[in-house]
Structure 1
Amino acid sequence: MLGILLKTFAAAFLSFSLLTALPGVATAGTADVKSKARTSSTRQVKSVVLRKQAVVVPAVPTFGQTAGLHEVDDPLALKSSVAYVMDQNTNEVLFSKNPQAVLPIASITKLMTALVVVEVGQSLDEKLTVTADDIDTEKNTRSRLAVGTTLTRGDMLHLALMSSENRAAHALGRNYPGGLDAFVAAMNAKAQSLGMADTHYVEPTGLSSHNQSSASDLAKLVNVTSQVPLLRDLSTSREARVALGKRLVQFRSTNGLLSNPLWDIGLQKTGFINEAGKCLVMQARMAGRQLIMVFLDSSGKASRIADAERMRKWLASTLPGEADTPSAKL
């Protein structure tokens, strides 16, 4: 009897021990789940990437937009607020939109820079070195011509006209007899001698919005520069390899129309700063006629090229004899 009681007591004690142990096990399991939940939650928080909302910076209006020039309608719906086409031989104006508006001309300035350099007769083989004075402090633009780069005056002229290299243009002006001030004075004197009454220059690159002109004035500049074979060749060059130290660096033209077989371009120059918009001047042959084209303050990345194409197609339907030229293939 005593043995049975002891066995019963032992069984009861074991059951009691198991019952008391179970809540502990459950609690530990719950703790583990909660711990995993906290870990999972923590990991999710860490994986969240907070992004700042993009700040929309309003576009700076060009001088032409501020003046309301884009509100002037034209039959071709051009994106340029100023457009001008003239027969170089007869001076007949074939198209005109705001021709007397005086606006910043950006790197179109470099045509005058090149003209002054050529006319003074300085050696094109003389070596010029880029210095800290040639760094753009106006717009803080970059350049592939590092301080210390040495090139011939001819190479500097080539890069200024073909690739619109600002440091090259500035170095050309700085190495003029009498220095930069004398060079800018010569630019303005040449403009006056050409009858460019609306034109004023303050530096040789076009980075300053104070370099200003009108379409009719720029047509006079294109007329003169297109008669200089060197300037014709350099401005219409598509690409060139230039030795910068131990490296041969490829430079290309800023005007994509030069590779278009439908165009016969004798001289060209592009330009852009925010105040001026996209600009383009050219001398091109169409229907046996030498034409001068000016597009200023064009809005949009490729709008000046599109405007030139619209003008070419319009001229194709307007000029007699155009059907005999490649332009009529479009």
Structure 2
Amino acid sequence: MLKSALAVVTTLLFVVAGISPAQAQTSANTKKTAAKKTVVKKAVVRRQAAPKRAAPQASLDHREKLVKKVAYVHGKRRVVYQRVSAMPTVPVVPPVMTAGDMAGLNLTQDPLALRSNVALVIDQASSQVLFEKNSSVALPIASVTKLMTSLVVVEARQNMEETLTVTDDDVDRQKHSSSRLRVGAQLSRDDMLHIALMSSENRAASALGRNYPGGLPAFVAAMNAKARSLGMMDTHYVDSTGLSSNNVASARDLAKLVVAAYNYPVIRQYSTDAKYMVEPSGHALQYASSNRLVASKDWDIGLQKTGYINEAGHCLVMLTKIEGRSVVMVFLDSKGKLSHVGDAARMRKWLSEQGPQNLTRVNLRGGRADEG
């Protein structure tokens, strides 16, 4: 009833306006189609005019960049940005301060630009000092300690063929250094001495001290007594390996130790061997020298010992011949894995250029150079 009344009213309105119902319906459909086209056109315009989605830059580290990737979430295509490192990240490691650095020895300059904070070169025969740099300062000496260890073992005249066993007491729990000798490994005292001198084997040096009459405390006491007898007044030992930074000596003291140890052929031979094989408990192990110079044909080395711990830096003592002259070289607290070897080469070149007749003594203490 209501619908019929509305239809009659609508028809009357169309008649008054002069428009037929069919024309009105066509006009309505046209407007709807135009409206749809307008909406679609606006959407296209917006899509074309809208700028591409910018990658988020907020809080972006200079070492990072954003990579655009396409992902599908619940079946719908999505554009995502992923942070990636623009360059490999290297952790910043602060430089290790050695005992020499903390004492200010790194401020001492020298004409050879040595990388060692301490250096000393003396003539073996005359004890004449040829080069000196901070040589009276007592510093940690690391495995150079083993030179005194070998001297005490040799002078104790113990049975060198006696079998020694590596025990848990020989394991380094201070620096956590590695060793190729396992707990339970057995070697003769002679072999232990050989690899301790040549290859700085810590467990071998520990076993040597532990098997001294009275044990390690008596051995350390013998080390300090021997140092005093040699006039090494700036020297102090607390172990037989050098792993403790409390093992200290000055370059002048170490030069005396080198001269004393050189008197024993077994120490000369073992410290300068390039390679040596041992068989702990029947298993063959090949050891090599810790000093690459002993295998070089350019060097004539009669005795040597290297050492390294963080507090000591790289250390080297040796007796060698240069231009026919036997000289003792001591380098302590050197920076860089091969810096002590490089310093030895620079020193040899300088001594060769000076010549035995025109040699100038260089004495550096606290940054002041005295020549005479």
Q: Aligning the two structures, in what range does the TM-score lie when normalised by the shorter sequence? A: 0.7 to 0.9
Report SS of the residue matched to 1:184: helix
Distance 2:76 2:159 in 1: 80
Alignment partner of 1:202 is 2:247: no
Query: How far 1:240 sits from its partner (Å)?
Result: 1.0
Per-residue CA deviation, residues 270-325 of structure 1 (Å, 9 max, x unaligned), is: 00000000000000012222110000000112100100000010011112389xxx
Q: What does residue 168 of structure 1 align with?
A: 204
Alignment partner of 1:295 is 2:331: yes
Give matches, 1:272-287, under 5 Å: 272-287=308-323
Q: What does residue 108 of structure 2 align with?
A: 72
**CA 1:174–1:65: 2 relative to 1, 3 Å:** same
Distance 2:226 2:235 in 1: 10
Give matches, 1:8-27, under 5 Å: none
Per-residue CA deviation, residues 105-151 of structure 1 (Å, 9 max, x unaligned), is: 00000000000000000011000000000011110111100000000
**CA 1:202–1:34: 2 relative to 1, 3 Å:** closer
Paired amino acid for 2:328: I
Match of 1:255 among 288, 291, 299: 291
Kindly name which structure, 1 or 2, has the bigger radius of gyration based on alpha carbons. 2
Q: What does residue 146 of structure 2 align with?
A: 110
Q: What does residue 188 of structure 1 align with?
A: 224
Q: What is the RMSD of the two structures over their aligned residues, measured on CA atoms?
A: 2.3
Distance 1:130 1:151 in 2: 8
Q: Which has the higher strand share?
A: 2
**CA 1:48–1:219: 2 relative to 1, 3 Å:** closer
Paired amino acid for 1:125: E
Q: What does residue 280 of structure 2 align with?
A: 244
Distance 1:188 1:61 in 2: 27
Q: What does residue 99 of structure 1 align with?
A: 135
Distance 1:267 1:247 in 2: 29
Report SS of the residue matched to 1:124: coil
Per-residue CA deviation, residues 232-266 of structure 1 (Å, 9 max, x unaligned), is: 00000001111133431111001011121111000
Give me the identity figure in percent: 57
- Alignment check: 8 A CA contact 1:209 1:276 kept: yes
**CA 1:229–1:37: 2 relative to 1, 3 Å:** farther
Report SS of the residue matched to 1:245: helix
Report SS of the residue matched to 2:284: strand
Q: What does residue 311 of structure 1 align with?
A: 347
State TM-score, norm by structure 1.
0.82
Paired amino acid for 2:221: A
Paired amino acid for 1:228: Y
**CA 1:34–1:315: 2 relative to 1, 3 Å:** closer
Which is worse superposed, 311-320 or 100-109?
A: 311-320
Distance 1:214 1:314 in 2: 23
Gaps (5+ residues) in structure 2?
A: 1-71, 359-372
State TM-score, norm by structure 2.
0.73
Paired amino acid for 1:58: P
Distance 1:52 1:256 in 2: 33
Per-residue CA deviation, residues 53-90 of structure 1 (Å, 9 max, x unaligned), is: 55323122001111111111111010000000001110
Distance 2:352 2:290 in 1: 25
Q: What does residue 260 of structure 2 align with?
A: 224
Q: After TM superposition, which residue ranges in structure 1, 4 or more long, deviate above 3 angstroms?
A: 33-38, 51-55
Distance 1:275 1:95 in 2: 24
Q: Tell me the number of residue pairs that the alignment of Structure 1 and Structure 2 aligns.
A: 287
